[in-house]
Amino acid sequence: MTLPNESLVNFIFPNNAHIDWSLMIVIYPYITGLVAGAFVVSSLYHVFKIKEFEPVARFALISAFCFGLFAAFPLLVHLGQPQRAFNIFFTTHTTSAMSIFGYVYGSYMILLIVELWLTYREYFIQRANETTGIPRLIWSTLTLGIMTYTPDSARVDHRLSTFLAAIGIPWACTLHGYVGFIFGTVKANAWWATPLQPIIFLMSAIVSGMAMLCVMYTIIHWRKGWDYDYAMVKKLMGFLWGFFIIDFTLEMLEIIYVAYEHGHHWSVVGPLLGGPLYGSFFIGQVLILSVIPFLILGYIVISRVAGKTMLYLANIASLMLVLQVLVMRFNVVVGGQYISKSDRGFVDFHFELFAKEGVLVAVAILAAPFIVYYILSKLIPIFHQDDVTSSEG
């Protein structure tokens, strides 16, 4: 189709008829974001000594570990030859963004495992001394053969945990900021090519991680019949609101800047936001899933609302932000590929239910961290109420 001035529109190259990066590449940055956000909450207690987060410090650390186990799994599903994934560790190339990511992700998971081991070393030793047979062998293996735990050991473990939490903060930020870096360096795509992409990804990661922790905390305490720590929830909502303000402001400023500049990028991004992404971006991500939780969180932080009312509002806002970041990832990853490589016209995307990268596989991968968390919760104490139950038992 041509316009009166003979400019060609809706022209798509033959090799550009399908979107290659689909749902697996949507949930890949989403899960890594949950890792970073959960770890930040844990570090706010261990490093910055925010006492209100003490009841959820171990919970946040365990959650970060569970999400981290599956952060790279969507990439393996997406790969045509997943058995070759380890090649990035053996054929290092400093110009390859994904090769460097392998080292960032791998070293961060090692740091997280060591911090968890230091946190639970006393419990491992206790279980090794209390059990017999195969359970004793398993617990003894986790203790690395050390069967005594002294006050001096506790002090050393605490110092090492604090040190690892301190260096883990910038490492967690690097982990997810690097995901945004991978997209931001694709200069050929007008929707991705911005130096703010790593910062936007990082801020939204912290938002999604904090919001997910609030929802998980409430569900777990509700199912077990435990009392809620309302002071902790309100403090968490304060930090969540602050990070979300930064996140949402950066996203809007980036669009306003491109629109005001009115250059080549806007000639592509403008029709994209006004066309294929209008519903999912303006209506879904901005109007419903951003403005509403922003107002709810503001009310929680500024007003004197407390108790169950505050808890209900906090979970409504948190659940909406969990969905907001997921929709944001879709709008960035898939939405960016709506733009034809000819910069004229848009490519269609259709959800598939049973495909290799379809909806069912995505749901299964998103559910996997929660299943691992449930298994771990049966083996080790996560909340202080678990400590009381273990001592009574």
Angle formed at CA 257 by CA 346 and CA 7, multiple of 5 degrees: 35
Identify the CA nearest to 56 among candidates 284, 368, 384, 381: 384
- Residue 267: count of CB within 10 angstroms of its CB: 11
In the chain, which ranges are continuous DSSP H helix? 23-46, 57-69, 73-78, 87-90, 97-130, 133-142, 151-184, 197-224, 230-261, 264-274, 292-302, 307-337, 359-379, 384-392
> Do the domain assignments include residue 6?
no
pLDDT value of position 110: 93
Residue 303 lies in a domain: yes
**CATH number of the domain that 126 lies in?**
1.20.1630.10
- Beta-bridged to residue 346, according to DSSP, are 339
Q: Is 83 contained in some domain? A: yes
Domain-located, residue 13:
no
Contact criterion met (CB below 8 Å) for 183 and 21: no
Domains of the chain: total:
1
Collapse the DSSP code of 196 into the 3-class scheme (helix H, G, I; strand E, B; otherwise coil) and give the result: coil
DSSP string, 289-358: IIIHHHHHHHHHHHS---HHHHHHHHHHHHHHHHHHHHHHHHHHHHHHHTB-TTSSSB------SSSTTS
Q: 315 in a domain, yes or no?
A: yes
Q: Are 326 and 212 in contact (CB under 8 A)?
A: no
Residue 9 in any domain: the answer is: no
d(CA 268, CA 78): 28
pLDDT for 2 equals 42
Q: Is 11 domain-assigned?
A: no
Q: Examine residue 333 and state whether it is found in any structural domain, yes or no.
A: yes
**Tokens at 35, concatenated:** 């890792």
For residues 74-111, b (16+ Cβ closer than 10 Å) or e, as one string? bbebbeeeeeeeeebeeeeeeeeeeebbbebbeebbeb
Compute the CA torsion angle 348, 335, 101, 40 (nearest 10 deg): -140
pLDDT tens sequence for the chain (393 residues) = 444 444 445 666 655 667 888 899 999 999 999 998 999 999 999 899 899 999 999 999 999 999 999 998 998 898 878 788 777 777 777 777 777 778 888 899 999 999 999 999 999 999 999 988 999 999 999 998 888 999 999 999 999 999 999 998 888 888 878 778 878 777 667 788 788 888 898 999 999 999 999 999 999 999 999 999 999 999 999 999 999 999 999 999 989 988 888 887 788 888 889 888 999 999 999 999 999 999 999 999 999 999 999 999 999 999 999 999 999 999 999 888 888 777 677 888 888 898 888 999 999 999 999 999 999 999 999 998 776 555 554
Give the range of the structural domain holding residue 355, as residue numbers without chain letter.
Answer: 19-392
At 390, the amino acid letter reads S
pLDDT of residue 14: 55
pLDDT score at 210: 96
Question: Which pLDDT score, from 0 to 100, does residue 338 have?
Answer: 87
